[in-house]
Amino acid sequence: MGRKARRATGSGGGQSEHEWSDAQRLRYWWQAERDLLLKTLAGVPEGQVDDALAEGAWSPTGMAAHRLFWEAEERAAIEEHLGGAFPSLLDFPTRRIDSTNAAAVASLGNRRLTALIRALRDLRERTATLVERIPDADLNTPGNPARILLGVALEHDREHRRELESKLGAIAKDD
């Protein structure tokens, strides 16, 4: 894993992953999945950036637009948590997810994939600075909103990375 992901663990020298706290493990995998999704998106061949991954599915460009929208929501939710409020994203009505996704892709999906990746990378770097401020105790406590937010975000990235890989093959390599 890259230097950023190792730094995200907060672990020192010879500590093995099995000795990590939940907070260290969660930060590591949150960052690792984010990096892998960005690498996978960046590796999409130019001629396939606007091709749907499957019948009724998004293109890689649409997927990047989708994740850019939700990254902003996740960042706002982390800010709410750090400010002492319950993150409103955790109360997002599931009946609105499909229409929200469609609106996000419609409003952002007309941008070039490279521009979306740059915007997503920039926003993610700013989100990472907030994640560093989340107390370990929050991430070590089952059911804590911050723990839920990071867990859902890493699974979201993993899901979309796997979608890309199933269509295009493994593009990103874990370094």
Q: Is residue 9 in some structural domain?
A: no
Q: Is residue 37 in some structural domain?
A: no
pTM for the model stands at 0.84
Residue 8 in this model has a pLDDT that exceeds 80: no
Which residues form the domain of 66? Answer: 55-175
- Angle between helix 145-168 and 22-42 (nearest 10): 30
Q: Is residue 121 in some structural domain?
A: yes
Q: What is the pLDDT of residue 4?
A: 44
**What is the tally of structural domains in the chain?**
1
d(CA 69, CA 47): 24
Residue 9 in this model has a pLDDT that exceeds 70: no
Q: Is residue 98 in some structural domain?
A: yes
